[in-house]
Structure 1
């Protein structure tokens, strides 16, 4: 039995899949803390779908998919920012219009120019079939995101909680907003090949939401979210070998399960703890 459990570690493609899933999961989990605190869950969803037309156009132009996807994500982010600043529309409305528009454009281009790009691969990912060049691109994106967060993390935090203070010390809240959008677009590109356009939103939100329930300190939250992302990435790739199912689906479903456990059992913010505190307060009031 134990020998059978070690079988996935004997195949190079499984080792690559587990490594890639851990890397992307950790980076997406780290960035998910900012997404959750900023309230940008829908923004991550929008950017993950907006990269689809860029992938198709990159194939048509013979350039790397990551370049086209990143450009498309930035264009979508810029469009959303322009519409939000220049129209009376609510931000959630702008996000919904832009991401569905970009995603629809991508599907339209796929129907006009049939290619070897399978829609299922774009939507759901295929981490088991990632080429060496794509692995290098994903590694570069991951390292770049971590470096930027290490250098600009404090300013990003100020832009979330105290943009006035950031402006007072010479920073720019608008620049930090653009930087966060850029990091989201880059991470969506990295996650696209691992879990696909649909599921990458889970990796950009769920680890941060889970960690938020477990701690009130940002440093611990970031460490927990990155750890959850890496652990579920490893587990998802490993378990998918035995389940013969979607690797991305297992990863995101595992993250959702951990979120539900945290929602129920978190020591301060969990459902059980909240009910217990309410009962204690009622008992004290009655006394």
Structure 2
């Protein structure tokens, strides 16, 4: 099977595109996921991944690139959630639940208007093997942009993630960095839609970062490890999906989940067995 997969890589351009795109998405999703976990914003990643659906559907209807509509609606959902949370007694998880379910429902209706159940299936569950050259280059461009933002604002994102009150006391524009993170989260969610679909995007954002969190002692280490695990899970998941003719997006997510499950028991500092023995 391995030989067959590498033979396919040499022969088929679509498989080359799929592998490159999957690895790129795994790297960038792993990096952004670290900040999402540290800020306790896993639900926000889930919300934005679902909120982009109406933007994608509207883009199909208008005949424009789905990337444009998805980013607009993703950012819109982020602003709405933050506004509700900051201007009412409604808690964050409630605001997220209301917003993402509403956007998801709107997306399903718009997909129905567009009359395209096939597109809906690909949007929800991904279709990494159908990635075109343009999609591949967009993914690479987005990854470079997101990683550049993280590199340029690493210190600020680190401080606002660990201690927003300290950051505010230091005069940092905490809200600006919050929305900056929401912007790159939206970019990654829209890009990852091609590989795993809107339903499983949150797994690509959270699972590699959670696995890295079991090993890392610093944010930099966590980011590098999470990105590496995301890339590895993407490559192995694509191999499994292609070799056994199953959904590649789901294979990627399950591969990442298996890595976390193994790490949970063997991680040297925070693993399940370590914690169990420490109590004895």
TM range (shorter): over 0.9
Assess if the C-alpha contact under 8 Å between 2:233 and 2:256 holds in 1.
yes
Structure 2 match to 1:284: none
Cα distance in 2 for partners of 1:31, 1:129 equals 25
Assess if the C-alpha contact under 8 Å between 1:46 and 1:95 holds in 2.
yes
Distance 1:70 1:85, change over 3 A: same
Cα distance in 1 for partners of 2:117, 2:108 equals 14
Structure 2 match to 1:6: 6
Distance 1:185 1:3, change over 3 A: closer
Structure 2 match to 1:230: 231
Cα distance in 2 for partners of 1:39, 1:167 equals 18
For residues 271-286 of structure 1, what are the structure 2 equivalents within 5 Å? 271-279=272-280
Query: Structure 1 stretches of 5 or more lacking a match?
Result: 280-287
Distance 1:275 1:168, change over 3 A: same
Q: TM-score, normalised by structure 1?
A: 0.93
Assess if the C-alpha contact under 8 Å between 2:30 and 2:229 holds in 1.
yes
Deviates more, 1:252-261 or 1:114-123: 114-123
Structure 2 match to 1:30: 31
How many correspondences in the alignment?
Answer: 279
Structure 1 match to 2:255: 254
Assess if the C-alpha contact under 8 Å between 1:265 and 1:273 holds in 2.
yes
For residues 211-226 of structure 1, what are the structure 2 equivalents within 5 Å? 211-226=212-227
Structure 1 match to 2:205: 204
Assess if the C-alpha contact under 8 Å between 2:20 and 2:136 holds in 1.
no
Structure 2 match to 1:188: 189
Structure 1 match to 2:150: 149
Structure 2 match to 1:82: 83
Assess if the C-alpha contact under 8 Å between 1:14 and 1:237 holds in 2.
no
Deviation at 1:115, TM superposition (A): 3.9
Assess if the C-alpha contact under 8 Å between 1:213 and 1:266 holds in 2.
yes
Cα distance in 2 for partners of 1:84, 1:195 equals 29
Assess if the C-alpha contact under 8 Å between 2:54 and 2:73 holds in 1.
yes
Deviation at 1:155, TM superposition (A): 0.4
Q: Cα deviation per residue 1:43-91 (whole Å; 9 max; x = unaligned)?
A: 0000000000001111222221101100010001011011111221110
Assess if the C-alpha contact under 8 Å between 2:200 and 2:253 holds in 1.
yes
Deviates more, 1:167-176 or 1:111-120: 111-120
The structure with the larger Rg is: 1
Deviation at 1:121, TM superposition (A): 0.3
Cα distance in 2 for partners of 1:138, 1:225 equals 18
Q: Secondary structure at the match of 1:264?
A: helix
Deviation at 1:42, TM superposition (A): 0.5
2:68 matches 1:67: yes
Assess if the C-alpha contact under 8 Å between 1:8 and 1:241 holds in 2.
no
Deviation at 1:185, TM superposition (A): 0.5
Give the superposed CA RMSD: 1.4
Cα distance in 2 for partners of 1:16, 1:64 equals 19
Q: Secondary structure at the match of 1:262?
A: helix
Deviation at 1:5, TM superposition (A): 5.0
Deviation at 1:227, TM superposition (A): 0.2
Q: Cα deviation per residue 1:145-203 (whole Å; 9 max; x = unaligned)?
A: 00000001110111111223323443211111111111110100000111100111100
